[in-house]
A = this chain, B = another copy of it.
C-alpha cells in the first residue's frame, strides 16, 4: 500500500506482512545452518559515527538527517551548549557501522572468527522522489543484511558458503537462473595493498570455480574498497535484476580499527599459515576482512519480483492465502461452524480454556473466512482467482454432520511441511469430504 504521507515507504498490509515474515523466518532457519547470529541495531546514529564510517563523506545525499524537534531535548555539544552538528543524527542507510561497533566491543581472538552478524532492521535511503516506484525503488526497505568478519585465510570458504546459501535460497524460492559476475580492483584510486587484493581476488575466483556455475569477469569494475560478486537474476521476461551481493571491504575494518589477536600476526594477515614455532610464539593484532552480503537483497524488491514471478501461484509455504472457508449462506449455525473450522485449522481451538496457557501451538497456516451473503459460486470463483491453496465449503449439511467439504487441489501433494500440517488439521475434523 503506497501513501502520499510517506512517499517511498510502503505499508505492509496483513497479507504482505505474512509473506515478509515467512521470508524472514525462512532466512532465520538458514542462519542457523550457515552460522549467522542475528543482532538488532539502532535506527539512528550520531553524525560522528557516519563521519567515522565514511558515509557522511561519500553518501551524504542519500542519507536523512534526524534532529530534535525541541531544542531543549537536543544532546549537549562538548562545550555543554545544546544543538549543532553534535546533536544531529543520521537515519541509517545500512547496518555495517553498527556491526563494526559490535565486533569492536570485545577483544577477539582468531579462534572466534569467522563472526557472522545478520540484521533485518529497516533502512532508509533518500532517493529523489522522481526515482520512487512501487516496491522496487523505495526510501524505506529491509535488507537481509549480513556481515562476515573473517581471517584473510577464511575468505574463500566464506564466499563458498555464501554462494551455497544463495543457491539454496533461490532454488527453494524457485528463482533463477542467475548469473555471477566478479568485479576486480580498479586500476587507480583503490585502498589496501596490491597483495591484499590479489589474495582476496584469488580466493573469490576459487570459490566461484568451486560453485559449479559459470561466471564472468568485470575487470577493474570493483569498488575502491574491495572486489565484489554480483548475483544477477533473470526474470521470466529476460530482464535482469541485481539481487544478492557479496562485497569484500578493506576499508571499514581500517576506519573502525577492528582487530583480532593471532599468533604469527604478519603471516596471518597475509592469509597464510606457518609451523615455525618462533613465529607462532608471538601473538599480535591482525585486521579482519569484512564481507558484506545479502542473499535476497532488498526484501521489498524481492517481494515485487516474486509477485510477478509466481503470478498468483505462490508456493504453498509462502502463500499468504493458504486456505479459505466459504459459507453456503450467512445463517448463524453455518457461520459459527465456519469459525470453529477456522480455529481447528489455525491450531487455536482451545482459545479461551484457562488450563492451556503455555502450550499455544498454532499451525502457522493462513486461513481466511468468507461469510459474506453472496452466492457460493461467486465466492468459489473469487477464491480461485485470488490463489487460495485450499477451499473449504461449509453449509447446513456440514453443520448437521459436523463435517467440511474440501477442495484441496491447491495443496501440494508432498514436500511442504505446512501442507502436511494442513492435511493433518483437516483429519482432525470429524468427517471430511473431498469435492
Which residues on A are within 8 Å of B, measured CB to CB? 1, 3-7, 9-14, 16-18, 20-21, 28-30, 32-34, 37-46, 48-49, 60-70, 72-73, 75-76, 89-91, 98, 101-102, 105, 111, 117, 121-122, 124, 126-129, 140, 164, 168, 171-172, 346-348, 351-352, 357-362, 371-372, 415, 417
Contact = CB atoms under 8 A, between A and B. Distances in A.
Contacts of A372: 111
Given A1-B105, A14-B117, A61-B69, 17 more contacts: A3-B42, A6-B42, A6-B44, A11-B101, A12-B39, A13-B102, A17-B40, A42-B140, A60-B70, A62-B70, A64-B67, A65-B66, A68-B126, A73-B126, A73-B129, A111-B371, A121-B122
A294 B41 CA distance: 23
A65 B67 contact: yes
Contact of A39 (B14, B34, B64, B90): B14
**A38, A60, A62, A347 pick with most chain B CB within 10 angstroms:** A38
Given A48-B5, A360-B29, A98 B11 contact: yes
B76 A72 contact: no
Nearest to A126: B73
Q: How many chain copies does the complex carry?
A: 2
Contacts of A359: 417
Closest 10 CB pairs of A and B: A9-B42, A12-B40, A61-B70, A14-B37, A32-B362, A5-B49, A6-B42, A33-B348, A5-B46, A29-B360
Q: Is the interface of A mostly helix, strand, loop or mixed?
A: mixed
Contacts of A40: 11-12, 16-17, 20
B38 A64 contact: no
A195 B64 CA distance: 46
A66 B66 contact: yes
10 contacts: A10-B42, A11-B39, A11-B41, A17-B38, A17-B40, A30-B360, A34-B351, A44-B91, A60-B69, A172-B358
Contact of A358 (B21, B357, B415): B415
